Structure 1
Amino acid sequence: MVLIISQQTFDDAVRENIEELGLEPQEALEEAVTQFESQGVDLSSIIKELSLESSMEDDINAAVKKLKDLNKIDTPDKVLMDQMDVIRIECDKGLANKVAVGKAGAYNVLLDVLDTKRTFIVVERICLKTLTSLMTKQPDLLDSRGIQAMFRFLNPKVDFDLKKLTLRWIKECCVMHENNRQNIFNARILENLKDLLKDSNPEIIREVLSVFRALILDDDVRVEFGNAHEHARIIASEFLCYLTFLMKKFQLDESFIHDLILTVTALMVRNEFCKKVKDAQGIEMVMDIMNNFKSNERINRQCFKLIKALAGNDECKSYLIHKGLAPILTSALNENKSGITAVAGLSAIAALTLRSPDNSKALFEAGIPAVIVVIMKMYSDEKQVQKEGSRAIRNMVSRSRYQNETFLELGVEEVLQNNLNKFKDIEYDIKAALRDLGCKVNLKEEWTGKGGALSTGGFVS
């Protein structure tokens, strides 16, 4: 279980370091961080900055109070907007400033502004921008009143910018906050998002996709168990077929396609969802997209990840190669082999060829061995590349030993042997590749029987 402390506990520790140990403020801050980290405390949600000067806090309090007072009287919209801009600019200065603005009560004041019927729609736009700025990395402020305000602006008939800004606000409130995700999800937001997906404007749909991805995050260390999988299951069950259809509708829109494939991949949490994508002709769409964006690193990287996810289903794994993916994948990886893209491509190859000699044969005939070895030589010091490359080689040759000679002629044995000295923590994968290539390797017997009991590394069962 991760150890968690409150912001107040952290601030008190910094103050004690100053008052009792006589440290300078910056030294006191660094000492507090070191102290808590040595105790195994997670500080990811803690503001590790010096407190604002009291004069600055006074200015923030005054700015929030002025906005509150202006909203109570018949104030010109321009004056109200200018005052919200003052608060938003303050929030954008840093996390410590956001916290100070939040403590001054800006959240409720901004919701009061939204509740006040204004004839000038730009007031609401500025208000939503200010709320988003205030709550980015500070989502704890959200309550039921805020969720009600969100839903008010998710109607398809609402102004375009208001919908877009509201979706961005929702997304920021879901990041690193499991309770917000659950509360928003349980408020039946999917019904609103379903209507918005019918919008013909790709900008709105992209914002909806970002909300989908935020709802299935599992990044809140304060919660032992989240609902990420369940949210993904429900979203995928209801929307996956339509999202696959959107691949065809927007197949030439680079930014949209990237976000769409990223979202579809994130929703692949069950075996049956792979089949759902296949039945909706998603596999053909992915290959068309790879052909349309042959040299686009971002899109091909996401396509590799989606292919790996789809290969988790045996039927889809065979279908991918049957439909002609092998030469497309080989060409894409050959053209897009920066570090993180190479890892995604090699991982896709490993997934496609696992216990599948037919897939291995097709990729072999498409020239993938040369691409694998070139990448491993190119990134000889990158552990993740070497790990995925070793897995890809092992799966390629494990049931297709006729490929060994080709891999060895390409010089892969030297690469793997060098890796044994460099990367001890991926030794298993490297040795498995060497073993199946028929190379000399010193294998370690992990499990031995002693008097009816099994033991490994001192553990006895």
Structure 2
Amino acid sequence: MSKRRITQETFDAAVRENIEEFEMDADEALREAVEQFESQGVDLTCIVKVVPAASSDDNQEEQTHEVLQALESLRIRNNTAALPDATADIKCFTEQCSLGFAQRYLAAQKGAYPVILSYCKKCMEERDYTLAGLSALAALTDGQPDLLDKEGRQFLVDVLEKHQADSSVTCVAICVVRHCCIKHEQNRQDLVKGGILPLLTGAITRHSDCAVLVKEAAWALRVMTFDDDLRATFGHAHEHAKSIVLEHNGLKILIGAAKAHLSNTSALSELCATLSRLAVRNEFCQDICDLGGLKFMMTLLADSYESPVAYTEKTNRCVFFSSSSSSSFLNCLLLLQELVRQVLSAIRAIAGNDDVKDAVVNAGGVDLIVIAMNRHINNPAVCEQACACLSVLALRKPNNCKVIVENGGVIAAVQAMKIHPGSMNVQKQACMLIRNLVARMRSYCQQILELGAEGLICQAVETHRDCGDIGKAALRDLGCKVELRELWTGKHGSITN
């Protein structure tokens, strides 16, 4: 059942009543209002849970939230003041929207989008003001792609064309594009028709030395291949991926960018994630391999065994951390694990091509994948992708199955199942791996059963509904007793549940 919703005005009135009628201090009044509405089943996600501040004229009768104060000031200055006079207001508005979704939502409800877009168009000739306006637009549209309209789409294309040489403006404009395309199929289609794809790939080529921009542009390209808008009956994810590859040389550009930023963990993660989204055809998988994509992925996996490394944008260099600096070490380890996960995901995607499967195995990929899983065995996301990767390599390839078993792939998968019993994805991919290994190589059944696979698979089937079919298939191929339900006997009547 959906939760109830209230307006910001209703919430603010309750806080004000607590202060005026019950003589609570501001913090107590706010806390009491939150508890009161939550106990009534009200969703406060879109509510700014802050006591409204007094307006700039110190009139205590008119209190409003800072984001609305900045918006109102911008609304007035947009028509009456020069651009420099609005600088403080646009920065304040951006800062307030960056605090959380509730602030952005409130601003949008009060008509912020046309005000900010008007400011952006007004200052398009001035670089610094354009940057400030785009930053405000990026903050406002984060999580609110429905705000973008036809005028805004054209503005984004125009600003990317006009400021192609400016990496900072380009980067922020691409960020707005990304925000407006997540979970919004129509914006994606309209922007692609408007010529956004060559602007994104061109930005990577033109500013190949700027890791932040490369990451942002790759991210935006990846979003163009999403199919995440529940409102759209049919999406163009596949068509967009094909266009990026065939019409805009996307694979070569992305692989070239990855090779240029081998020390930037964050950028590499995004580039690998984007490549995996573009491997939608058998020939594209082979192209990634032929362009050196597989080789650099193998290099990344091998290099990930070294100490965690972080790339600092300010100093343009790599910094190695020891375990003594715990906070920095942990952050770097998380970045490293995300990179490993995305590399494994990319290998999994391109290994859909049978020739690439063999290339991965011949390049020592199985050993690297198993080592990566063992090293990051406590990370369920890495274990999931590693098992999935090995599963794809084993599919219809008996020789590859032999390499996987001999290099400890089954042992690692079973260990992952033991460590992550609550992760449905780990359990499912491990079951898939075991099933693919024994489907054509029954000689491995006893070896796998001796590792305790049967009990773990049974537990996965019982615990996770989505593991039912693949888990039972694995048990069947292992030669274990398994109860298979006959859903339909061919007789007249409906399918049993």
Same fold (TM over 0.5): yes
* Alignment match, 1:38: none
What is the distance in 2 between the residues matched to 1:191 and 1:26? 50
The one-letter code sitting in structure 2 at the alignment partner of 1:289 is L
Q: 1:309 to 1:30 in 2, by over 3 A?
A: farther
Conservation of the 8 A alpha-carbon contact between 1:135 and 1:172: yes
* Alignment match, 2:267: 256
1:251-289 deviation per Cα after TM superposition (whole angstroms, max 9, x unaligned): 332222111001111222233321221222322221111
* Alignment match, 2:342: 302
What is the distance in 1 between the residues matched to 2:473 and 2:390? 16
Conservation of the 8 A alpha-carbon contact between 2:488 and 2:496: no
* 3-state SS in 2 of match to 1:226: coil
* Alignment match, 2:217: 208
The one-letter code sitting in structure 1 at the alignment partner of 2:349 is A
What is the distance in 2 between the residues matched to 1:380 and 1:219? 28
Shift of 1:325: 1.4
Conservation of the 8 A alpha-carbon contact between 1:261 and 1:306: yes
The one of 133, 140, 162 aligned to 1:134: 140
What is the distance in 1 between the residues matched to 2:367 and 2:65? 65
* Alignment match, 1:161: 168
Shift of 1:431: 2.8
Q: Does 1:354 align with 2:395?
A: yes
Shift of 1:433: 2.2
The one-letter code sitting in structure 1 at the alignment partner of 2:277 is A
* Alignment match, 2:93: 87
* 3-state SS in 1 of match to 2:227: coil
The one-letter code sitting in structure 1 at the alignment partner of 2:304 is F
1:33-54 deviation per Cα after TM superposition (whole angstroms, max 9, x unaligned): 79xxxxxxxxxxx965489989
Conservation of the 8 A alpha-carbon contact between 1:369 and 1:406: no
* 3-state SS in 2 of match to 1:153: helix
Q: Does 1:97 align with 2:134?
A: no
TM superposition score normalised by structure 2: 0.76
Conservation of the 8 A alpha-carbon contact between 1:404 and 1:437: yes
1:371-411 deviation per Cα after TM superposition (whole angstroms, max 9, x unaligned): 12222222234333222211111111221122223223323
* Alignment match, 1:396: 437
What is the distance in 2 between the residues matched to 1:430 and 1:117? 60
* Alignment match, 1:175: 182
Computed over aligned residues only, the root mean square deviation of the Cα atoms, in angstroms, reads 3.4
1:54-111 deviation per Cα after TM superposition (whole angstroms, max 9, x unaligned): 955697666434324334445371x311111232234334444334423444323333
Unpaired runs of 5+ in structure 2?
14-32, 53-60, 307-335
* 3-state SS in 1 of match to 2:154: helix
Q: 1:413 to 1:97 in 2, by over 3 A?
A: closer
* 3-state SS in 2 of match to 1:154: helix
1:213-251 deviation per Cα after TM superposition (whole angstroms, max 9, x unaligned): 222222222222222222122113231232223333323
| Identity percentage of aligned residues | 27
Q: 1:56 to 1:163 in 2, by over 3 A?
A: farther
What is the distance in 1 between the residues matched to 2:68 and 2:261? 47
* Alignment match, 1:320: 360
Conservation of the 8 A alpha-carbon contact between 1:178 and 1:220: yes
Query: Counterparts in 2 of 1:26-41, with a 5 A limit?
Result: none
Q: 1:169 to 1:442 in 2, by over 3 A?
A: closer
What is the distance in 2 between the residues matched to 1:425 and 1:359? 27
Query: Counterparts in 2 of 1:15-34, with a 5 A limit?
Result: none
What is the distance in 2 between the residues matched to 1:59 and 1:373? 54
Shift of 1:162: 1.2
1:169-188 deviation per Cα after TM superposition (whole angstroms, max 9, x unaligned): 11111122222212211111
Shift of 1:195: 2.1
Shift of 1:208: 0.8
The one-letter code sitting in structure 2 at the alignment partner of 1:287 is M
Unpaired runs of 5+ in structure 1?
19-23, 35-45
Q: Does 1:152 align with 2:177?
A: no
Conservation of the 8 A alpha-carbon contact between 2:373 and 2:386: yes
TM superposition score normalised by structure 1: 0.82
* Alignment match, 2:472: 431
1:180-219 deviation per Cα after TM superposition (whole angstroms, max 9, x unaligned): 2122111111222232121222222111111112222222
Q: Does 1:217 align with 2:211?
A: no
The one of 397, 412, 415 aligned to 1:371: 412
* Alignment match, 2:292: 281
* Alignment match, 2:369: 329
* Alignment match, 1:113: 119
Q: 1:279 to 1:137 in 2, by over 3 A?
A: same
More divergent stretch after superposition (271-280 vs 88-97): 88-97
* 3-state SS in 1 of match to 2:233: coil
Q: 1:94 to 1:405 in 2, by over 3 A?
A: closer
The one-letter code sitting in structure 1 at the alignment partner of 2:107 is V
* Alignment match, 1:40: none
* Alignment match, 2:303: 292
More divergent stretch after superposition (123-132 vs 216-225): 216-225
